[in-house]
Amino acid sequence: MSSIYDRTDIYDLLEDQTHWSAYKKHWKTLLQGKNVHSFLDVSIGSGSVTLPLCELGVQLAGSDLSEEMIRKCKEKAAAAGYEIELKSCDFRKLSCWEGKQFDCVASTGNSLPHVNNDDVLTALEQMNSLVKKGGYLYLDTRNWEKILNEKRRFYLYNPVFAKKCRVNLVQVWDYSSEDTITFNLLYTFEKENQIVQREIFEEKYYPIKKEMILSKLKMMGYTNISVYCFPSYFKMPEFELVDWYCIMAKKND
């Protein structure tokens, strides 16, 4: 079954100006008082999450395993009037950025759980190697502990209108005995009361625990480790209630 990340025409259907404004507000809130001028997103995807940083005057760079996503990100950046450095590479081996360092290195879009926990730790080490002294490491992720506790299977999303069609998205999550969760994504396109197109995708995730991330950051010498709701302008509830969160930590000088 094909991956949603190979179909940028489908992947971005739910994104709009409201999301752009929300991401911009998220970064403005999170970076307030922090000396961040250069920013690398090692899972930039099509750029939806971090391109709004450009409006805040931050010099953005990005990489992603999917060349199709990089192509789409470059297209979106150009349409918005921004020129950013983009590379295609795996966040478990960031040699494509060798010799460069950034004020902040991030993995956005719940991307780290696409690989197993050992590989997540490797990715954090790779990210750390690109963070300037006194800089920041950032990630956002679904709250997998909440997901595993609740074990919900069905998720329905509000429809959007695109390509002269009403587009519906339903997700069905399969929980395996191997500590993985498979997201089944079903898109249907309706026109004149008929389904004229169906697209089905399957993505496997490896749940991660917050304490594993925090422990690794401490081992790498990070301080001022903060956990925020995602987006960060929302008040952080009790951890077991939050659906999606982000972590930002400062590297020692």
What is the 3 state secondary structure string of 46-57? CCCCCHHHHHHC
pLDDT, greater one: 18 or 60? 60
Q: Report which of 139, 142, 136, 141 is spatially closest to residue 58, judged by C-alpha positions.
A: 136
pTM (two decimals): 0.95
Q: Which pair of structure tokens corresponds to residue 224?
A: 């001022």
CA 163 to chain centroid, in Å, comes to: 26
Per-residue pLDDT band for 170 (boundaries 50, 70, 90) equals very high
Ranges of each domain in the chain:
4-143+206-251, 146-205
Mention every residue, 6+ apart, whose C-beta is less than 8 A from residue 234: none
Contact present, 164 and 196 (Cβ < 8 Å): no
Report whether pLDDT(248) > 80: yes
For residue 177, what pLDDT band results from cuts at 50, 70 and 90? confident
Query: What does the angle CA 144 – CA 220 – CA 84 come to, to the nearest 5 degrees?
Result: 75
| pLDDT tens digit sequence for 117-160 | 999 999 999 999 999 999 999 999 999 999 999 999 999 999 99
Type of residue found at 105: V
pLDDT score for 37: 98
R_g of the chain, CA atoms, integer Å: 18
Q: How far apart are CA 139 and CA 121, in angstroms?
A: 12
Report d(CA 213, CA 216) in Å as an integer. 5
End-to-end CA distance of the chain: 46
Q: What is the pLDDT of residues 209-241, one digit of tens each?
A: 999 999 999 999 999 999 999 999 999 999 999
- The pLDDT tens digits of the residues spanning 61-94 come to 999 999 999 999 999 999 999 999 999 999 999 9
Q: How far is Cα 203 from Cα 95, in angstroms, rounded to an integer?
A: 26
Q: Which fold has domain 4-143+206-251?
A: Rossmann fold (3.40.50)
Buried-state track 166-183, b at ≥16 Cβ within 10 A, e below 16: ebbbebeeeeeeeeebee
CATH ID of 146-205, from 2.20.25, 3.10.50, 2.60.40, 1.20.1300: 2.20.25
